[in-house]
Amino acid sequence: MKILLIGYGRMGQAIERLATERGHQIVGKIDVQNMAELSNVDASEVDVAIEFTRPESAFDNLKICIEKGIKVISGTTGWLDKFDELVELCKQNDGTFLYASNYSLGVNLFFELNRRLARMMNPHKSYEPIMEEIHHTHKLDSPSGTAITLAEGVIDNNDLKKSWVNETKNNDEELEIISFREGEVPGTHTVKYKSEMDEIEIKHTAHTRDSFALGAVVVAEWVSNQKGILTMQDFLQLD
């Protein structure tokens, strides 16, 4: 498989290493130093692009790929105010695109577990849902995209909460997300349901960033043979 890397920070470098180990070819590396070269990429030389950049550049990067007919997956968070616009562009160009806030296979199974637990807990109003997340000190966004996806999974499936806040809640309809930034922690996310009598907790702990990078490579392998606007639920074949 011929992969175009868009973004060559820690994640891009890990993706390159793991993709190469799996027998794939990196046909181009686009980063802040040569971003203009993305417009000159020959789409016929690319099976799939993997985009991990910054919120301010993600939409334009993805737009160029879709308009060129390059299948693309993205893990950049913080740009989703333009997500619907990109979906429409993808439809107009008969493109192929998948976005995920986290490509770890374990995290995506955790997302589904979180949604199902929220539905199970919905009738039991004595339980208060709260969330915590821990990431390394280099993490720029707070809360993380993973934490937001988890929060949305609770809100969509539990009548108690209408919105999330990245602080102590001000009213009962807000879901607390408490964020910590510590050392080199790859990522820990916890969802709790607390009552006066007991507490239920589910947690995902990443031991290495390679889990995120490997997930991106495996998903890219799948996307290279797909068409349309895709999700991680499509990939995992979750009901």
Percent of the chain with pLDDT over 90: 82
Are 197 and 114 contained in the same domain? yes
Q: What is the pLDDT of residue 139?
A: 73
Q: What is the pLDDT of residue 167?
A: 83
The pLDDT tens digits of the residues spanning 121-158 come to 999 999 999 999 998 777 767 898 889 999 999 999 99
Q: What is the pLDDT of residue 37?
A: 95
Are 7 and 31 contained in the same domain? yes
CA distances, 212 to each of 3, 107, 235 (Å): 17, 9, 15
| 139 flagged as catalytic | yes
| 138 flagged as catalytic | no
The pLDDT tens digits of the residues spanning 82-97 come to 999 999 999 999 999 9
Q: What is the pLDDT of residue 239?
A: 63
Are 119 and 195 contained in the same domain? yes
CATH of the domain at 46: 3.40.50.720
Are 92 and 18 contained in the same domain? yes
Are 196 and 164 contained in the same domain? yes
Are 109 and 99 contained in the same domain? no
> Looking at 82, 136, 139, 192, which residue is catalytic?
139
Q: What is the pLDDT of residue 147?
A: 93
Pair 189, 204: CB distance under 8 Å: yes
Are 110 and 187 contained in the same domain? yes
> Looking at 135, 161, 189, 204, which residue is catalytic?
135
Q: Which domain holds residue 31?
A: 2-103+210-236
Q: What is the pLDDT of residue 191?
A: 98
State how far the Cα of 62 lies from the Cα of 30, in Å rounded to an integer: 12
Are 83 and 176 contained in the same domain? no
The count of domains in the chain is: 2
Give the count of beta carbons closer than 10 Å to the beta carbon of residue 5: 21
The model carries a pTM of 0.83
Are 125 and 201 contained in the same domain? yes
Are 121 and 198 contained in the same domain? yes
CATH of the domain at 110: 3.30.360.10
Is the pLDDT confidence value at 46 over 80? yes
Mean pLDDT of the chain: 94
Are 214 and 161 contained in the same domain? no
Pair 46, 4: CB distance under 8 Å: yes
Are 91 and 120 contained in the same domain? no
State how far the Cα of 115 lies from the Cα of 156, in Å rounded to an integer: 8
State how far the Cα of 189 lies from the Cα of 179, in Å rounded to an integer: 9
